């Protein structure tokens, strides 16, 4: 029986106090966690080791990536850009995310968990957004990535004037076995280009559900495929490491997240251009040119009694225009942009996403759940992503205006 080590790294330890975690259980701070569950014919141990090697040793910076799968997305809003400007260059150089995974409302005081935080770029952005009354915990399995995060902790503390971040080493498949996360709840869980790399995706979603406070959300960017990725591509460690072949077929992901209790809401998406000749050849050799990849940001709220489909109860909401920086309108997801002052009809699940969360104070609510009028019109079931986008121009161009 093989064991995995989950090593807790001190919340407030300074860069100089950090020593690389041991590989064998030699200290009382080491915790032996059970082997992760297998899923979708993926060997969990082999997958984790090869991904660890890819992000720990193969890649030195985001320039070493072979595709733009792990580095896509439009330019972030200016307040996020300002937060990025304050981040240490070593952390920014090791950013491998595929989108903006920070919800756009006032996050002051929120408890945030970043799954697969890498070198910590999104942790340090969130640290600024939640302020000194909030906290941000980053979890990652790769020592080299966490080392950069920890080595720059004092730098960020001095820059922000406080330290509200903690980094933990562990596997996302075993989040329930990380002692520091026991009895903790989070308002927002974020993740940037990581779930596709995990061997047990449903298990990770279940851990997220358990770690979220009711009314909290899992807001994350990841890579999805237009159809199921064939086994021979899943077996290619470079394609997996580049965040491509571990990608879920979008409808499998949406069904999986409904099984766990969420109602997945797509916020934004962009096609991924595989411009690297070797990677293109590898996909073509297997005859899978028609396979398309997208980066997408979803939000999954933890709310009681969400229904499997959009049901119509004749309800409507009016946005008050009070979310900071979004006075004229605010986007919940790709299908719901709320203009200030305008009555908008919504299904029962959307109503709950607005009324039973921190968004409540920003909306007026019309109606209730007394009468049911059938399915809410426009509930779609075809590919939800747009084929064209501003980030579709290949790695070089996509990276210019991106979060990188």
Ligand X SMILES: C[S@@+](CC[C@H](N)C(=O)[O-])C[C@H]1O[C@@H](n2cnc3c(N)ncnc32)[C@H](O)[C@@H]1O
Query: Which spans of this chain sit near ligand X (rule: CB under 6 A)?
Result: 48, 51, 55, 70, 95-97, 116-118, 121-122, 140-142, 145, 171-173, 192-194, 197-198, 243
Q: Which residue lies nearer to ligand X by CB, 221 or 350?
A: 221
Strand, coil or helix: 357: coil
CA nearest to 193, candidates 90, 283, 298? 298
To 10 degrees, what angle do helices 121-130 and 78-85 make? 110
DSSP state of 55: I
Q: Contact at 8 Å (CB) between 386 and 295?
A: no
Tell me the closest approach of the beta carbon of residue 192 to ligand X, in angstroms.
4
Q: Which residue lies nearer to ligand X by CB, 97 or 134?
A: 97
Tell me the closest approach of the beta carbon of residue 288 to ligand X, in angstroms.
22
CA angle 360, 257, 232 (to 5 degrees): 145
Q: Which residue lies nearer to ligand X by CB, 37 or 360?
A: 37
Tell me the closest approach of the beta carbon of residue 339 to ligand X, in angstroms.
32
Tell me the closest approach of the beta carbon of residue 371 to ligand X, in angstroms.
44
Q: Which residue lies nearer to ligand X by CB, 73 or 271?
A: 73
Cα–Cα distances in Å, from 225 out to 1, 175, 288, 398? 34, 26, 12, 19
| Pair of tokens at residue 302 | 């933890």
Cα–Cα distances in Å, from 210 out to 305, 395, 401? 15, 37, 35
Tell me the closest approach of the beta carbon of residue 148 to ligand X, in angstroms.
10
Q: Which residue lies nearer to ligand X by CB, 173 or 263?
A: 173
Tell me the closest approach of the beta carbon of residue 272 to ligand X, in angstroms.
13
Count of CB atoms situated within 10 Å of the CB of 199: 24
Q: How far apart are the first and last CA of the chain?
A: 40
CA nearest to 164, candidates 191, 202, 130? 130
Distance CA 245, CA 402 (A): 22
Q: Which residue lies nearer to ligand X by CB, 48 or 402?
A: 48
Tell me the closest approach of the beta carbon of residue 33 to ligand X, in angstroms.
11
Backbone angles phi and psi of 112, in degrees to 5: -120, 140
Q: Which residue lies nearer to ligand X by CB, 122 or 268?
A: 122
Q: Which residue lies nearer to ligand X by CB, 152 or 350?
A: 152
| Pair of tokens at residue 230 | 């064939």
Q: Which residue lies nearer to ligand X by CB, 35 or 311?
A: 35
Q: Which residue lies nearer to ligand X by CB, 95 or 351?
A: 95
Q: Contact at 8 Å (CB) between 15 and 153?
A: yes
Tell me the closest approach of the beta carbon of residue 69 to ligand X, in angstroms.
9
Tell me the closest approach of the beta carbon of residue 220 to ligand X, in angstroms.
9
- Sequence-ordered list of residues with C-beta below 8 angstroms from that of 202, at least 6 positions apart, any chain: 39, 256, 259, 260
Count of CB atoms situated within 10 Å of the CB of 2: 7
Distance CA 302, CA 188 (A): 10
Count of CB atoms situated within 10 Å of the CB of 368: 11
Tell me the closest approach of the beta carbon of residue 74 to ligand X, in angstroms.
16
């Amino acid at each position: 029986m093989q064991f995995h080590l989950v090593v807790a790294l001190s919340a407030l330890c300074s860069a100089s106090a950090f020593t690389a975690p041991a590989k064998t259980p030699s200290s009382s701070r080491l915790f032996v966690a059970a082997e992760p569950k297998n899923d979708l014919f993926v060997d969990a141990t082999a997958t984790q080791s090869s991904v660890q090697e890819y992000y720990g040793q193969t890649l030195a910076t985001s320039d070493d990536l072979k595709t733009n799968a792990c580095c896509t997305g439009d330019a972030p809003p200016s307040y996020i850009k300002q937060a990025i400007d304050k981040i240490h260059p070593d952390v920014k150089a090791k950013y491998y995310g595929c989108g903006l995974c920070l919800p756009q409302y006032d996050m002051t005081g929120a408890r945030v968990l970043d799954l697969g935080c890498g070198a910590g770029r999104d942790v340090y952005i969130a640290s600024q957004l939640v302020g000194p009354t909030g906290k941000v915990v980053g979890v990652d399995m790769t020592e080299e990535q966490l080392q950069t995060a920890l080595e720059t902790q004092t730098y960020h503390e001095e820059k922000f004037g406080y330290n509200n971040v903690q980094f933990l080493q562990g596997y996302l498949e075993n989040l329930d076995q990380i002692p520091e996360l026991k009895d903790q709840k989070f308002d927002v869980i974020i993740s940037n280009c990581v779930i596709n790399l995990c061997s047990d995706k449903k298990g990770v979603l279940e851990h997220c559900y358990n770690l979220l406070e009711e009314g909290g959300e899992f807001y994350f960017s990841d890579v999805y495929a237009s159809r199921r990725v064939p086994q021979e591509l899943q077996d290619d460690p470079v394609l997996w490491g580049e965040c491509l072949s571990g990608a879920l077929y979008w409808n499998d992901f949406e069904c999986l997240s409904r099984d766990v209790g969420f109602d997945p809401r797509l916020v934004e998406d962009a096609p991924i251009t595989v411009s690297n000749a070797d990677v293109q050849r590898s996909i073509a050799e297997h005859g899978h040119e028609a396979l398309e990849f997208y980066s997408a940001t979803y939000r999954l709220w933890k709310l009681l009694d969400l229904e499997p489909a959009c049901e119509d109860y004749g309800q409507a909401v009016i946005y008050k225009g009070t979310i900071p920086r979004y006075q004229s309108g605010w986007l919940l997801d790709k299908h719901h942009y709320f203009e200030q002052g305008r009555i908008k009809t919504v299904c029962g699940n959307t109503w709950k996403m607005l009324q039973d969360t921190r968004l409540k104070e920003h909306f007026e609510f019309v109606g209730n759940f007394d009468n049911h009028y059938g399915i809410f019109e426009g509930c779609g079931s075809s590919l939800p992503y747009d084929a064209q986008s501003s980030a579709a121009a290949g790695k070089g161009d996509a990276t210019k205006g991106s979060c990188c």
